[in-house]
Amino acid sequence: MERSGAGRVARRGLWGIARIVGLITALVVGLILIGILLTLLEANKDNQIVEWLLDGGKFLVEPFDNVFKPDGAKAKVGVNWGLAAVIYAIVGGLIVRLLRR
């Protein structure tokens, strides 16, 4: 009888970790999408908040930085950063799903 109690506790712990992973994934994807919008809308890069958001996004998308090389800086950011957001969302979703099993 205690095994089912211990199993329930372990499962609850994994669900908690899954929630944390889901939250981190949402924050990462959200930051990347905000970076895309700020770039496409030509936000003032001298603003400290804009600079901080774009620097955070650049750090997260660095592995995907030159996957595609379309003409224009906006298109490059839109495509490569968008790819990074999709990859992070898929991988984060898979990890959450595995933890909830």
Comparing CA positions, the residue from 29, 34, 22, 32 lying closest to residue 93 is 22
- Chain segment 34-92, per-residue pLDDT in tens: 999 999 999 999 999 999 999 999 999 999 989 999 999 999 999 999 999 999 999 99
Q: What is the DSSP letter of 67?
A: S
Query: Where are the domains positioned within the chain?
Result: 2-99
Query: What are 2-46's pLDDT values in tens digits?
Result: 456 766 766 778 899 999 999 999 999 999 999 999 999 999 999
Please tell me whether the overall predicted TM-score, pTM, comes out greater than 0.85 for this model.
yes
**pLDDT of the residue at 9:** 66
- Token readout for 69 is 């090389």
Closest CA to 97 of 33, 28, 6, 25: 25
Cα 55 to chain centroid, rounded:
14
CB 54, CB 35: distance < 8 Å? yes
Tokens of 49: 């908040």
